[in-house]
Structure 1
Amino acid sequence: MNTPISDTFGQQLHDMRRELLAQVRAQRGGNLGRAEAAAEAREQQSDDWAQADAARDLSVALEEREAAELVAIDEALKRVADGSFGLCIDCGVSIPTARLHANPTSLRCVACQEKAEQAEGMGKPATL
């Protein structure tokens, strides 16, 4: 991918990263650490343990999703830096720009992504 386009996607990825980190900070109540946020949430919880457990499960799921998203963004930024951004990791063809605009962390072209999803559906592990 040429440099001006990579720079554009690099900026988009940096913006996504900054927004995601701001969202995580806001969910935790500002710049609170994970332990402080958990203690604060526990203080605010009612006596309904089932509701508290459900809220904690949701919080853990969100944190896992956000962590995975941060990893995907960081990996895409590495690909921008090393010049491999926008190339399918399976077949090496250029990923269409429209696909990258929709999901700049895409690793595969549409055809290879479909194959990976089919393999995953058949119980074979596949990466994004």
Structure 2
Amino acid sequence: MTDQALTPAQLEELRQLLLARRADLQDQMVQNLANLEPARKTAASVSQDDNARLANQMREVDTRLTALDVDELGRIDRALERMADGSYGLCGECGCAIPFERLKAEPMTQHCVACKSRWEEKQGLRT
């Protein structure tokens, strides 16, 4: 287990990254949810069926994007909770310190590169 604790300045930088990403996601979700509102009825036209199909496809995409955003918001909140309880920056698998540069690239990560790589191999995500 490596004991390279993050400095207070590094923790604050990562916290700001997480908070900024959370704000961006919340803005995206507002837009996605607005897109899910039923479309207003328009005058009958030859391509009304095509417009309805396109609107349904767009709603499906917005629904899926919103679900992904909700998942990512949960990961951000868990990272902020780990910051508060002092466990942030430690691998959830082996307990080693996760390097600052890795956290900066992926501030919600809970695993060091070695443990994440082993997990991906088990899942068949790496060859």
Q: Tell me the TM-score range normalised by the shorter chain.
A: 0.7 to 0.9
After the TM superposition, list the runs of 4 or more consecutive aligned residues in structure 1 that deviate by more than 4 angstroms. Answer: none
Partner of 1:23: 28
Residue identity in the other structure for 1:39: E
**Structure label with greater radius of gyration:** 2
Pair 1:4–1:39, CA change in 2 (3 A)? closer
Task: Give the paired residue count.
Answer: 114
* C-alpha distance in structure 1 between counterparts of 2:87 and 2:104, whole Å: 16
Residue identity in the other structure for 2:36: A
* C-alpha distance in structure 1 between counterparts of 2:103 and 2:73, whole Å: 17
Cα distance, 1:56 vs structure 2: 2.3
* C-alpha distance in structure 1 between counterparts of 2:40 and 2:118, whole Å: 48
CA-based RMSD = 2.2
Partner secondary structure for residue 43 of structure 1: coil
* C-alpha distance in structure 1 between counterparts of 2:95 and 2:29, whole Å: 34
Q: 1:79-109 deviations in whole A, cap 9, x for unaligned?
A: 1101111110000001111111111001100
Matched, 1:101 2:104: yes
Unmatched tracts of structure 2, length 5 or more: 1-5, 43-47
Partner of 1:64: 67
Matched, 1:47 2:44: no
Unmatched tracts of structure 1, length 5 or more: 30-36, 123-128
Residue identity in the other structure for 2:115: C
Q: 1:20-49 deviations in whole A, cap 9, x for unaligned?
A: 1122223444xxxxxxx5334x32795224
- Which of structures 1 and 2 has the larger relative contact order (alpha carbons within 8 angstroms, sep 6+)? 2
Using the TM superposition, name which of 98-107 and 8-17 deviates more.
8-17
Residue identity in the other structure for 1:51: L
Q: 1:67-90 deviations in whole A, cap 9, x for unaligned?
A: 111011001000110111111000
Residue of structure 1 aligned with 2:17, choices 4, 12, 19: 12
Residues 104-123 of structure 1: pairs in structure 2 closer than 5 A: 104-121=107-124
* C-alpha distance in structure 2 between counterparts of 1:104 and 1:19, whole Å: 15
